[in-house]
Each structure stands twice: as C-alpha cells, then as structure tokens.
Amino acid sequence: MADQNIQRLLAQRSFTELGARQRARALLDAGSFRELIDPFARLISPWLPKQGIVPQADDGVVVAKGLIDGQPAVIVAIEGAFQGGSLGEVGGAKIAGSLELAAEDNRNGIPTRAVLLLETGGVRLQEANLGLAAIAEIQSAIVELRQYQPVIGLVAGPVGCFGGMSIAAGLCSYLLVTREARLGLNGPQVIEQEAGLDEYDSRDRPFIWSLTGGEQRHASGLVDGYVADDVEAIRGELHSLFAQGKPETERSRRHAWFLERLRAVDTSVQADAAAVRSAYQGAQA
C-alpha cells in the first residue's frame, strides 16, 4: 500500500515546477548526477555587475554529467527564473563548451549523448553580442554532436524557448514539448514593437498560445513529442528516443519539403493555427 502511494506520488511529480538543477538531477539515472563548474566555482557574468544587475553564481546554466539509461550523458539545464533564462557569455560558453566536449568524446569512442533543457528568451541583451556569438557556437556544436548521438531538446515551460535558442531547438535530433511550452523565434513584445498591434497583440495570450504553444507545435509536426508535465513520463520519453537512435533525416534538413509546403500557402490572408496544421500535414513522416 505504502509502496503504491509512493509510486503514485513519483508518477505525478511535476517537472515544470523544478528548478534547473533539480531538473537535470531528475532526468539523470539515480545517483549519477555530477555538476561541472558548479555555483561554488563562482564563474559569474563579468558583465552584469558592471550594469548594476545582480548576478547568479551559475549564470543561470547548469551543466551536469551522468548517465541516462546507463549511457554517458550530459544535461544542460537553463534556469528560466534568472533573467528570463537569457544567455550571456558564461552561460552560453557552458552550453557550447559541454556540447563540444561531448562531440570530442564521441570522436574518441565514448558515446556521450546530450539533453538540452531549454527555458530561455534567447540572447541576454546586457551581453548582447557575446550572447549571440555563443549561440552561434552552440548551434555549431549541436550539428557536430548530432552526427554521432541524438541531441534531444526539451521545452517544458513556463518561459518557453525563443530567440537564437529557438533556432538551436530546431537543430536538435528530437524536440519535446509540454502543454506549458511555447516555441518561437521572436517574442510577442518584439513582434508587436516591430510590426504593430494588428500583426501581433502581445497581450492576447490565447492567440499567442494558439500559434506557438506546445500542443500546436506538435499538431503541426514542428516537434517530435508532446509529453505530460511529469518527471517519469519525460524520463521514459528520453530513454525511448535514445534507444531509437539518430533520426533518418533531421527536421532542419528538410528544406525541400518545407519550401514546397510554404510555396502553397496563401499569404494574402493572415495565418491561423488550423491553416498551419493543414499545410504541414505529414511533417513527421
């Protein structure tokens, strides 16, 4: 009886309410979590204090090595609560550097795999060009590592995944989302600022979710899995995708398919969720 209760509790453990460090720990095999450049290393942002902004000791990025389903793995978890999960120099280098080392492992015969827990608005504007440069390097490293092992991205929420990191998400071998997730290049406020209220009303939440929310992204084939906000469900999904191995063709390589579909879109009318679902039918084939 007690066992069953414990199992039920475990089975219902919310993932989105966990912080970045707890998320990484929860997805690695029990007891295998080992953090690199932990907060006590105090490698903080050299740029935030200069601008009167309180830094965080880990710069909002947790890098943890360990095992996933018994295989060597690195998990990178972005802390969405710190500066909106934005990437500056240190956090960005932590992600790029760990993916580079994972690729090097593979070249040396160690099958290190990677999971990216994406909770980010993209570039940290206070470190603008260094964030952007780091994201280019993260993207390069994903493409490199992906040749050897699946790189799996997860957007769990509540921040979502935007900016240059949404492009990084689009490079992953597999991308998972929850109902809480949003995925898009440009944040609603920026689109409204650049294109006007008629184009994009940043305060109309149902509208924004209908276009960029996890359910819509899944229904239109722009992600590979729609998972419950549940630690065990997410772990299970990671195990099964890693067991499946690399996809035959990554989504980001399917330019011919996407161009064909986009050329058939009637762009004289505004887009809505149903039109996208219908245009992208069969995207996961």
Partner 1 sequence: METLSFEFPAGQPAQRRALVGCVGSGDLEVLLEPGQAGTLAIQVVTSVNGSAPRWQQLFERMFREQQLPALNIAIHDFGATPGVVRLRLEQGLEELNHG
Partner 2 sequence: MTTAQEQRGLHWFQALTGNAQPLDGLPASLRVADGELAGQAVRYLAVIADENNPFPRARNGEVGLLEGWGLAQAVDAAIEADRNSPHKRALIAIVDVPSQAYGRREEAYGIHQALAGAVDAYARARLAGHALIGLLVGKAMSGAFLAHGYQANRLIALRDSGVMVHAMGKAAAARITLRSVEELEALAAEVPPMAYDLDNYASLGLLADILDVQQVTQPTTADLSRVQEALSRALADIASAPRDLRSRLGATNRAASSQVRELLRAQW
* 131: contact with partner 2 by CB under 8 A: yes
* 67: contact with partner 2 by CB under 8 A: no
* 115: contact with partner 2 by CB under 8 A: no
Select from partner 2, partner 1, none the partner in contact with residue 267, using the beta carbon and a kind-dependent cut-off of 5 to 8 Å.
partner 2
Q: Which stretch binds partner 2 (CB under 8 A): 16-24, 229-237, 239-247, 271-279?
A: 271-279
Question: Two tokens at 251?
Answer: 């989504």
CB 147 to partner 2: min, Å: 8
Binding site for partner 1 (CB under 8 A): 19, 39-40, 49, 52-57, 79, 81-83
CB 239 to partner 2: min, Å: 24
Distance CA(90)–CA(72), nearest Å, equals: 24
CB 24 to partner 2: min, Å: 15
Distance CA(253)–CA(245), nearest Å, equals: 17
Q: Which stretch binds partner 2 (CB under 8 A): 4-12, 13-21, 231-239, 266-274?
A: 266-274
Residues 246/248/251/256 CA torsion (nearest 10 deg): 160
CB 48 to partner 1: min, Å: 9
Q: Using CB under 8 A, pick the residue from 100, 226, 228, 239 that binds partner 2.
A: 100
Query: What b/e readout covers 206-215, taking b as 16+ CB neighbours within 10 angstroms?
Result: eebbebbbbb
Within 14-33, which residues bind partner 2 (CB under 8 A)? none
Select from partner 2, partner 1, none the partner in contact with residue 228, using the beta carbon and a kind-dependent cut-off of 5 to 8 Å.
none
Closer residue to partner 2, CB minimum distance, 16 or 140: 140
CB 62 to partner 2: min, Å: 13
Cα 134 to the center of its chain, rounded Å: 15
Closer residue to partner 2, CB minimum distance, 59 or 230: 59
Within 220-239, which residues bind partner 2 (CB under 8 A)? 220, 222
Q: Could you give the angle at which helices 231-244 and 20-27 cross, rounded to 10 degrees?
A: 60
Select from partner 2, partner 1, none the partner in contact with residue 139, using the beta carbon and a kind-dependent cut-off of 5 to 8 Å.
partner 2
Strand partners, 76: 63, 116
